[in-house]
């Protein structure tokens, strides 16, 4: 299997709380199945004014219990039940979670009675991974409060911190809660202390619970009702809604989750996207209960789904504002079109698999508008694509699904980041493939600077690894900004790193140097001028475009030597010497030779050997057809693939 | 062994008769007793086989009748009887002069016995003795190989075959090599050993006429083996034996193989007269490919007139990928001219790489 470079163990835990929009096609089919049996009469929720609505989310580091708590709340409010026909649903939720798909149904509406009043409680789910911080922020923008859930045994981790700042940035009321207090390893006082010192939240406000056993869970909703402000907005103002999540259902098309900020919406209304100005007609509105349950309307303060005649998920932009036709409103702040941070070339291993791969990619991106797709042709690999992902996890999950679910054999080239060129006339250009990199002449005449994207990273780890972590940061061209102790034994380190250094094996290194204890998070932090070069690979003086790469000058020698060595191992001897060279800026950085073949002849060939010999010959001829040729130098497919694949 | 032995011989004779009866208009150029250890057979049975063959397809005046033998004392003792039975040429499996290696190979003779057998055969079949030598054993150095071959060449008669050790799938050596219990000489050392063989044989007056075959004169070259490489017709008798012949009725070139299991083969011979497992037609395209692939194993190469035998009039220049041929001529691997395509010594050494490129 071709693997991009990610620590496998980490991948598993991360995916456990990743909202995988790829999973929702599967889910929506289930949804539809239960739809047929649910009550088709539209629910009337117009009786819930904003004062009796609470929109909240749960933010937590991976495996700190977010999903379990969500389950508990849904059970508590009767949305799902542990027994009876809903047991299926609950079980399946768990199975899907184990598979790494968090069910969309976790964005759910609940009805709850508190002090004699009926409340509509909307739990809005958030993607759990660093790659999706923009999605997280938009989901949070749909809420007014959030539960900050911390594992009482593990304490604050990198994502706890990252998500807190996102929530804080959106102006949400943060309600801290400690989970897993039932564990023998739990240290609630210590964890509470961490929360207080890191986030300046009074520790006496912190709820202690165990989502698993149910202990303390009954206090959660009351706490939310008391602490979280109700949504603001007015029924009398024109309709205005925030689109914060979306998925594709093969029966009804694109389904959008929206938070209604003003006014109301019902079937038949015509709405407009602020971003694209496209008009749509609403065919259904409703709440997630937990399945899509139609309502007569959705009103200010409420959160629910809207189905309209939107055909492609690419039309649904997370963070977009919707309004009614002829009643435009000021768009909500914070909207940013999805930005790809990591690029990889994707090619079919067999040229005749192209159409199949094309279909598979289309199907997968059907439900994931954050993957950018550009067709690309490589001299060596033929037709393929350059796909842009939000991060390496995003890319890896995509690749795995491509291979597992669509059974396509695909070559993924080493991940790259979008470098930038700044020209003297002020214009900029993105470098997505090495072919975009300007040649020496252009560089000299028109280029002012080459730039690379940076990230602001946070790592949390036990203090004995501080030295290692600092070293890792500096080794990767990073700049340490500060480090603080978040409790008596753990350090929070903030640093700035080039994104190119993150997309390969940085994470693995981080984990291995900290014996697995470090947790890590990052976000984009702009571009900086950087000394970039294009490394070329030559075989008997012919450049191999497909192996060229753009990188920081400091990495050229190591990478150059590595590629030359790897090529030497996989290139088979031919009837002439083969000279492998890697070069940057016109200078050779590494060289290897594959000496010509000295002997290749079958010793014995008599009567009985003829048939076998001829079979072998013809098989070799077939094999030759699959060889990639660079000038006269042949490279067998597999060898080539092993070089092209993300390595280390 | 008695009953079985008789049964097998009868089956062989039956199959022989059935197969040769269709080719009575031809002449038998050679007979080769090989595959297994024919020298363990009864010389009288060998005689009967030769006579039966001759009665159906008359032997040529100077027909070459070869018997393969191991140099064990038992087999050496029978040489005279085999000569009496009609054998005209002896092929001895010396393999190596290194006793340790022989033991590891499971051979029942020593290096000295090997050479002694060759000497004995030379006295009975002057000019008609050949033997096999193998290089590329585990732990063998270039120097030791050269010494070994030089010694062997001192005892050589008119012909010697020198093979690189070939590792066959399914054998203990194959498994050992894969498990890295055994480390064989690397590619470059093998190449040097091969080159040494060419050099040493040449220095003793042996002409390198085929990849692994060296002859002191044209008369000493193996008639039977050349039949394979030059696309003649041959019939194989016995389990697993291969055949290539032109069906006299259809005029088509046929390739066939006998059943591998000796019991089943014998049964089939008894019931229908032969134990053929598989029979195929050789298409013109296949025959042309074979002509080139095997023709180029010989230093004389292949001529247009030889090629014409299977090409239905097409000449080499029209058939081969000439751009590649010309390139290899430039490299010094091939010679082409006067209607003949032949490898140079250097080309022969890497001929398998070349063949894949020049054959369409």
User: In A129-209, which residue ranges form alpha helices assigned H by DSSP?
Assistant: 133-141, 158-169, 188-199
The C-alpha angle B224, B225, B231, rounded to 5 degrees, equals 95
pTM given for the model: 0.66
Residues of A with CB under 8 A from a CB of B: 573-576, 597-608, 610-611, 613-614, 617, 620-621, 624
Digit-coded pLDDT (tens) for B16-56: 999 999 899 999 999 999 987 888 889 999 999 999 999 99
- DSSP bridge partners of B258: B276
Question: Which residues of chain A are within 8 Å of residue B289 when distances are taken between CB atoms?
Answer: 614, 617
For the cut 80, the answer to whether the pLDDT of residue A99 exceeds it is no
Closest CA–CA distance from residue A570 to any residue of chain B (Å): 16
Question: Which residues of chain B are within 8 Å of residue A601 when distances are taken between CB atoms?
Answer: 211, 297, 348-352
Do the interacting molecules here have an ipTM over 0.85? yes
Question: Which residues of chain B are within 8 Å of residue A606 when distances are taken between CB atoms?
Answer: 225, 228
Closest CA–CA distance from residue A598 to any residue of chain B (Å): 6
Contact: A607, B242; criterion CB under 8 Å? yes
φ, ψ (nearest 5 deg) of residue A415: -65, 145
Q: Is A443 left (phi over 0), alpha (psi -120 to 50) or beta?
A: alpha
- DSSP bridge partners of A372: A388
Return the pLDDT at A11. Answer: 29
| Disruptive mutation site among B135, B137, B210, B242 for chain A (greatest number of A CBs within 10 Å) | B242
Residue of A324, A309, A332 whose CA lies nearest to A232: A332
Question: Which residues of chain A are within 8 Å of residue B211 when distances are taken between CB atoms?
Answer: 601-603, 605
Tokens for A107? 């964005």
B289 and chain A in contact, CB less than 8 A: yes
B191 and chain A in contact, CB less than 8 A: yes
Return the pLDDT at A341. Answer: 66
> In angstroms, what is the C-alpha Rg of chain A?
28
- DSSP bridge partners of A167: none
Question: Which residues of chain B are within 8 Å of residue A621 when distances are taken between CB atoms?
Answer: 356, 359
Return the pLDDT at A405. Answer: 67
Q: What is the mean predicted confidence (pLDDT) over B163-178? A: 87
Tokens for A312? 């492609």
Q: Is A34 exposed, middle or buried (0-12, 13-18, 19+ CB in 10 A)?
A: middle
Give the whole-angstrom CA distance, residue A192 versus residue A177: 9
Contact: A600, B297; criterion CB under 8 Å? no
Percentage of chain A lying above the pLDDT 90 cut: 37
Digit-coded pLDDT (tens) for B251-300: 899 999 999 999 999 999 999 999 999 999 999 999 999 999 999 999 99
Pick B294's closest partner by Cβ from A597, A603, A605. Answer: A605
Look at residue A62 and give its three-state secondary structure: coil
B137 and chain A in contact, CB less than 8 A: no
The C-alpha angle B259, A615, B183, rounded to 5 degrees, equals 90
Residue of A179, A304, A323 whose CA lies nearest to A241: A323
Tokens for B250? 């259809």
Give the whole-angstrom CA distance, residue A178 versus residue A208: 5
Tokens for A626? 């699959």
Band of residue A41 on the pLDDT scale cut at 50, 70, 90? low
Out of A126-135, A567-576, B24-33, B197-206, least confident range: A126-135
Question: Which residues of chain B are within 8 Å of residue A573 when distances are taken between CB atoms?
Answer: 187
Tokens for A9? 């163990």
Closest CA–CA distance from residue B359 to any residue of chain A (Å): 9
8 A C-beta contact, residue A144 and residue A225: no
Return the pLDDT at B238. Answer: 94
Closest CA–CA distance from residue A600 to any residue of chain B (Å): 4
Closest CA–CA distance from residue A543 to any residue of chain B (Å): 23
Closest CA–CA distance from residue A578 to any residue of chain B (Å): 15
B22 and chain A in contact, CB less than 8 A: no
Question: Which residues of chain A are within 8 Å of residue B226 when distances are taken between CB atoms?
Answer: none
Give the whole-angstrom CA distance, residue A89 versus residue A67: 14
Give the whole-angstrom CA distance, residue B337 versus residue B328: 13
Cβ neighbours of residue A642 closer than 8 Å, sequence gap 6 or more: A566, A570
Question: Which residues of chain A are within 8 Å of residue B354 when distances are taken between CB atoms?
Answer: 575
Q: Is A484 exposed, middle or buried (0-12, 13-18, 19+ CB in 10 A)?
A: exposed
Chain B residue with Cα closest to A622: B356
| Disruptive mutation site among B132, B197, B228, B298 for chain A (greatest number of A CBs within 10 Å) | B228
For the cut 60, the answer to whether the pLDDT of residue A26 exceeds it is no
Q: Is B221 left (phi over 0), alpha (psi -120 to 50) or beta?
A: beta
Question: Which residues of chain A are within 8 Å of residue B355 when distances are taken between CB atoms?
Answer: 617
Closest CA–CA distance from residue B313 to any residue of chain A (Å): 22
| DSSP, res A608 | G
Return the pLDDT at A21. Answer: 29
Give the whole-angstrom CA distance, residue B146 versus residue B200: 8
Band of residue A557 on the pLDDT scale cut at 50, 70, 90? very high
Length of chain B: 360
Chain B residue with Cα closest to A572: B353
8 A C-beta contact, residue A412 and residue A2: yes
Average pLDDT, chain A: 81
For the cut 60, the answer to whether the pLDDT of residue A10 exceeds it is no
For the cut 80, the answer to whether the pLDDT of residue B112 exceeds it is yes
Question: Which residues of chain B are within 8 Å of residue A598 when distances are taken between CB atoms?
Answer: 187-188, 191, 349-350
Closest CA–CA distance from residue A621 to any residue of chain B (Å): 6
Look at residue A329 and give its three-state secondary structure: coil
Chain B residue with Cα closest to A620: B356
For the cut 60, the answer to whether the pLDDT of residue A24 exceeds it is no
3-state SS, one letter per residue, for chain B: CHHHHHHHHHHHHHHHHHHHHHHCCCCEEEEEECCCCHHHCCHHHHHHHHHHHHHHCCEEEEEEEEEEECCCHHHHHCHHHHHHHCCCEEEEEEECCCHHHHHHCCCCCCHHHHHHHHHHHHHHCCCCEEEEEEECCCCCCHHHHHHHHHHHHHHCCCEEEEEECCCCCCCHHHHHHHCCCCCCCCHHHHHHHHHHHHHHHHHCCCEEEECCEEECCHHHCCHHHHHHHCCCCECCCCCCCEEEEECCCCCCEEEEEECCCHHHHHHHHHHHCCCEEEEEECCHHHHHHHHHHHHCCECCCEEHHHHHHHHCCCCHHHHCCHHHHHHHHHHCCEEEECCEEEECHHHHHCHHHHHHHHCC
Closest CA–CA distance from residue A5 to any residue of chain B (Å): 30
8 A C-beta contact, residue A452 and residue A532: yes
Q: Is B18 exposed, middle or buried (0-12, 13-18, 19+ CB in 10 A)?
A: middle
Output the CA torsion B118→B119→B120→B124 (10° steps). Answer: 90
Contact: A624, B356; criterion CB under 8 Å? yes
| Residue predicted with more confidence, B107 or A43 | B107
Out of A45-59, A121-135, A207-221, B78-92, least confident range: A121-135
| Residue predicted with more confidence, B112 or A60 | B112
Out of A36-45, A277-286, A589-598, B202-211, least confident range: A36-45
Contact: B349, A600; criterion CB under 8 Å? yes
For the cut 80, the answer to whether the pLDDT of residue A504 exceeds it is no
Cβ neighbours of residue A292 closer than 8 Å, sequence gap 6 or more: A31, A35, A255, A284, A286, A305
Residue of B152, B87, B79 whose CA lies nearest to B114: B152
- DSSP bridge partners of A433: none
Length of chain A: 648
Q: H or E element: which one contains A412?
A: strand A410-412
Pick A604's closest partner by Cβ from B163, B354, B355. Answer: B163
For the cut 70, the answer to whether the pLDDT of residue B140 exceeds it is yes
Give the whole-angstrom CA distance, residue A426 versus residue A147: 45
Return the pLDDT at A521. Answer: 77
B240 and chain A in contact, CB less than 8 A: yes
CB atoms within 10 A of CB B120: 18
CB pairs under 8 A between A and B: 90
Contact: B244, A620; criterion CB under 8 Å? no
Return the pLDDT at B217. Answer: 95
Q: Is A582 exposed, middle or buried (0-12, 13-18, 19+ CB in 10 A)?
A: buried
Pick B349's closest partner by Cβ from A574, A599, A605. Answer: A599
Residue of A139, A153, A328, A304 whose CA lies nearest to A237: A328
Omega within 30 of 0 (cis) for the link into A290: yes
Digit-coded pLDDT (tens) for A303-349: 999 999 988 877 888 889 999 999 999 888 877 666 666 778 888 87
Look at residue A297 and give its three-state secondary structure: strand
Of A71-80, A211-220, B145-154, which one has max mean pLDDT? B145-154
Q: How far is CA B272 from the centre of its chain?
A: 29
| Disruptive mutation site among A599, A608, A614 for chain B (greatest number of B CBs within 10 Å) | A599
Give the whole-angstrom CA distance, residue B248 versus residue A283: 82
For the cut 50, the answer to whether the pLDDT of residue A216 exceeds it is yes
| Disruptive mutation site among B35, B163, B226, B352 for chain A (greatest number of A CBs within 10 Å) | B352
């Amino acid at each position: 299997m071709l693997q991009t470079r990610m620590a496998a163990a980490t991948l598993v835990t991360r995916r456990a709380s990743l909202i995988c929009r790829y999973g929702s096609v599967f889910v929506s089919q289930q949804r539809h199945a239960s739809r047929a049996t649910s009550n088709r009469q539209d629910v009337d929720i117009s009786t819930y004014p904003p004062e009796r609505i609470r929109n909240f989310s749960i933010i937590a580091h991976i495996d700190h219990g977010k999903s379990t708590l969500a389950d508990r709340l849904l059970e508590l409010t009767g949305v799902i039940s542990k027994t009876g026909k809903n047991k299926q649903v609950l079980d399946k939720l768990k199975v899907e979670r184990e598979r790494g798909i968090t069910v969309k149904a976790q964005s759910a509406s609940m009805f709850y009675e508190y002090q004699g009043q009926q409340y509509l409680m909307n739990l809005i789910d958030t993607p759990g991974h660093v790659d999706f911080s923009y999605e997280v922020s938009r989901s949070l923008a749909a809420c007014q409060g959030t539960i900050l859930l911390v594992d009482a045994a593990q304490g604050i981790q990198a994502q706890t911190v990252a998500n807190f700042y996102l929530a804080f940035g959106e102006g949400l009321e943060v309600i801290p809660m400690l989970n897993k207090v039932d564990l023998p390893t739990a240290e609630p006082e210590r964890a509470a202390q961490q929360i207080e010192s890191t986030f300046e939240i009074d520790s006496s406000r912190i709820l202690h619970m165990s989502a698993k056993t149910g202990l303390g869970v009954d206090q959660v909703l009351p706490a939310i009702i008391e602490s979280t402000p109700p949504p603001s907005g007015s029924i009398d103002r024109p309709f205005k809604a925030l689109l914060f999540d979306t998925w594709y259902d093969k029966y009804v098309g694109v389904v959008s989750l929206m938070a209604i900020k003003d006014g109301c919406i019902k079937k038949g209304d015509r709405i407009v996207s602020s971003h694209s100005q496209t008009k749509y007609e609403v065919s259904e509105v409703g709440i997630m209960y937990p399945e899509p349950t139609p309502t007569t309307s959705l009103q200010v303060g409420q959160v629910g789904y809207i189905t309209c005649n939107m055909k492609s998920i690419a039309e649904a932009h997370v963070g977009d504002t919707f309004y009614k036709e002829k009643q435009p409103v000021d768009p909500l702040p914070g909207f940013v079109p999805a930005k790809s941070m990591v690029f990889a070339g994707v090619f079919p291993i067999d040229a005749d698999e192209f159409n199949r791969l094309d279909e598979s990619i289309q199907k997968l991106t059907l439900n994931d508008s954050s993957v950018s797709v550009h067709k690309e042709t490589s001299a060596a690999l033929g037709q393929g694509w350059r796909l842009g992902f939000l991060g390496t996890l995003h890319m890896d999950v995509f690749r795995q699904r491509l291979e597992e679910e669509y059974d396509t054999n695909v070559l993924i080239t080493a991940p790259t980041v979008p470098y930038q060129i700044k020209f003297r006339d002020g214009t900029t250009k993105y470098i997505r493939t090495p072919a975009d990199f300007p040649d020496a002449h252009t560089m000299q005449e028109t280029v002012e600077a080459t730039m690379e994207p940076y990230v602001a990273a946070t790592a949390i780890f036990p203090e004995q690894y501080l030295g290692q972590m600092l070293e890792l940061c500096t080794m990767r061209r990073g700049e340490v900004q500060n480090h603080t102790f978040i409790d008596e034994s753990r350090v929070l380190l903030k640093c700035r790193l080039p994104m190119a250094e993150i997309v390969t094996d940085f994470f693995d290194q981080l984990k291995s140097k900290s014996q697995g204890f470090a947790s890590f998070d990052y976000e984009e932090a702009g571009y900086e001028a950087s000394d970039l070069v294009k490394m070329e690979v030559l075989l008997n003086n012919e450049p191999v475009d497909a192996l060229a790469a753009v990188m920081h000058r400091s990495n050229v020698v190591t990478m150059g030597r590595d590629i030359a060595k790897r090529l030497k191992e996989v290139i088979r001897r031919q009837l002439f010497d083969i000279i492998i060279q890697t070069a940057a800026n016109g200078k050779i950085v590494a060289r290897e030779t594959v000496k010509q073949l000295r002997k290749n002849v079958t010793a014995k060939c008599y009567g009985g050997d003829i048939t076998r010999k001829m079979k072998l010959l013809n098989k070799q001829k077939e094999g030759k057809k699959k060889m990639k040729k660079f000038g006269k130098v042949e490279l067998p497919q597999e060898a080539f693939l092993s070089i092209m694949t993300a390595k280390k | 062994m008695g009953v079985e032995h008789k049964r097998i011989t009868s089956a062989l004779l039956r199959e022989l008769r059935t197969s040769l009866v269709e080719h009575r208009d031809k002449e038998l150029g050679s007979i080769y007793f090989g595959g297994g250890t024919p020298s363990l057979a009864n010389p009288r049975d060998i005689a009967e086989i030769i006579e039966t063959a001759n009665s159906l397809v008359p032997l040529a005046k100077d027909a070459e009748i070869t018997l393969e033998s191991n140099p064990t004392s038992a087999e050496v003792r029978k040489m005279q009887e085999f000569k009496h039975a009609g054998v005209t040429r002896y092929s001895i499996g010396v393999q190596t002069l290194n006793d340790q290696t022989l033991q590891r190979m499971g051979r029942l003779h020593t290096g000295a016995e090997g050479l002694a057998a060759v000497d004995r055969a030379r006295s009975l079949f002057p000019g008609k003795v050949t033997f096999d030598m193998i290089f590329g054993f585990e732990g063998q150095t270039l120097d030791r190989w050269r010494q070994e071959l030089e010694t062997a060449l001192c005892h050589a008669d008119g012909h010697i075959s020198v093979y690189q050790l070939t590792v066959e799938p399914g054998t203990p050596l194959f498994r050992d090599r894969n498990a890295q219990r055994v480390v064989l000489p690397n590619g470059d050392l093998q190449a040097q050993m091969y080159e040494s063989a060419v050099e040493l044989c040449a220095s003793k007056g042996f002409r390198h006429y085929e990849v692994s075959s060296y002859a002191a004169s044209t008369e000493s070259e193996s008639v039977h083996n050349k039949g394979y490489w030059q696309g003649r017709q041959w019939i194989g008798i016995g389990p697993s034996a291969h055949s290539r012949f032109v069906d006299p009725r259809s005029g088509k070139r046929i390739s066939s193989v006998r059943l591998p299991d000796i019991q089943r083969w014998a049964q089939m011979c008894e019931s229908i007269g032969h134990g053929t497992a598989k029979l195929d037609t050789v298409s013109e395209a296949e025959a042309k490919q074979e002509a080139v692939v095997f023709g180029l194993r010989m230093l004389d190469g292949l001529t247009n007139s030889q090629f014409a035998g299977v090409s239905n009039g097409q000449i080499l220049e029209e058939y081969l990928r000439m751009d590649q041929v010309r390139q290899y001529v430039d490299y010094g691997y091939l010679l082409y001219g006067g209607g003949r395509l032949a490898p140079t010594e250097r080309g022969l050494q890497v001929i398998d790489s070349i063949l894949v490129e020049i054959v369409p």
